[in-house]
Structure 1
Amino acid sequence: MKLELQNITKYYGKYPALKNVSAILTEGVYGLLGPNGAGKTTLINILIGILSANGGTICLDGKNTAKMGRRYFDKIGYMPQYPQFYANFTVREFLTYMCQLKGVDKANESIGSALKFVNLEEHYSRKIGSLSGGMRQRLGIAQAILNNPKLLVLDEPTAGLDPGERIRFRNLISRLANERIILLATHIVSDVEYIAKEILLLQKGTLVMQGTPSELEKSIKGKVWEIFANEKDMALMVDTYCVSNIKQQGTSYLLRVVNNDKPFENAKPVAPNLDDLFLYTFFQSSEGQV
């Protein structure tokens, strides 16, 4: 399966929320990474049909999705950033309702399979209002996969989750990736660092980079440094440079600095990671003299 975005453009009034975004996605997990306001949710809403683009086309296996109509939407599963649930519905009542909305055949079978997948089988009779935050997020995944979608779109799916639930959620996503395209929009690097086939970096409505995590990390090779400093120098460096991490070691501090040039004579180059890339790409102009 192949999803092609061709010059997707969207304006809100005169403000360009998306500017000629083009990408090709095949089966696997894709991370859509960018700070708040980058255009991630706008792009998602165009993909799933909530918004219309002002320009560009989306093609699925060579067919214009605008002309496919229901045949395209039947292939989509979507989990919004903040799923809205009916607190007094039981888990099963809610999923039955969603099956009716989606026109899912064999609803009981689909519900049973989805609950088993997200490990909520034992909670099917509980009121949604009594579920924990992590369980509600897993219920959000369950409703998104009821129709066995070929395109699964997740908008900030780990918002508000503790580290344990976040890891569990990532594992669920990885297991879903076979024979479908998953687009996971987030501003949290760790959500996609280990599971994404490729990452798309969106900045101010423009797709600035796309590639595998290792390819993207290599793009800033030679621009990440480590340096030991005392407390006074550490404070000065934080004010002057893009610092991605500070670790206290005894009376000194080990700083990880993202900068085009060697910041100090005793700075040592280190291998970049995606946090460094995120900082370099999105915050270099506002935090320090990259």
Structure 2
Amino acid sequence: MELRTTGDQLVGTAPAGGVCARPEAQQVLTGEFQGNVFIGKVTLCQTGVACETTATYDVMLVYSFDERALGGLVRLEGGCESVALPKGGMLVFRATEQEAAAPPVTAQASERQAQVPAPIPAVASGSAAQVAAQRRLEAVDVPAALRQGQQALVAKNPVSAVQQFQRVLTQEKNNASALTGMGVAFFLRDQQPEALRFLEQARTTGNQQARAEAWFWTACVKRATQDSKLAQEALRRAVNEGWSPPEGNTLVDRELQLLAREGQPFDTLVKQARGRKRAQGRDPQGAGSASP
């Protein structure tokens, strides 16, 4: 598949034939980068009872500079499968060996060049990093972007949230609130590995309050992956760091209820966090808060 940038868009065109037996070349990937996150749509061939032969899905993919790969989860409609996706639904694009050996054009140029791994043949061209680099030059109203991103999380709109948080990160790469927001956005997309990656970064770059927030959401992710032991430890770390739930945040309230159902140790920690909030009356932090 050939990847090119057209203006501020990344476009992927699959050749005729291939595993999907396309009669002619077809545009199958469109979208744009927000920092190192790609937000767009992918069109896949698929099989299954009552499934369309092709379908288009929203995707949110993360680019890893270390692995020179762009990847993320694609959730097909129930009962549908696609030969273009490996088992588990993880869509991955990797840089060619030739690109890996080539010198960079700019600080991050050619970092977005990628190709689909075998068995899907691909040729890479173009650079979406040039678009991202240009955006870094634009001034960002950080408090406003954080507020809009957090509002999008509460509304369970992770795509819009990522767009706002990435605007912040292009200007302040270690902004802990934006990093935590990115983690929550990927958590809402059921992309737990990516969520944990951002939350870990938030814990290592933020202050105590930011660490507490990141530990809370780490507990939520671990609960969702049924890792009860680590979920409990993460929640304990959050409470010990002083975390308390923001008022009127339906997303946080939902997660607290789910955590409390995990058993007595969880319920005790949840009550401790809620009690601290009532006693101290502090301004809320985290998802739904505009505090950086």
Tell me the TM-score normalized by structure 1: 0.26
Work out which structure has the larger RCO, using CA pairs closer than 8 Å and 6 or more positions apart in sequence.
Answer: 1
Q: Which has the higher helix share?
A: 2
Task: Name the structure with the higher strand share.
Answer: 1
Which structure has the larger Rg? Answer: 1
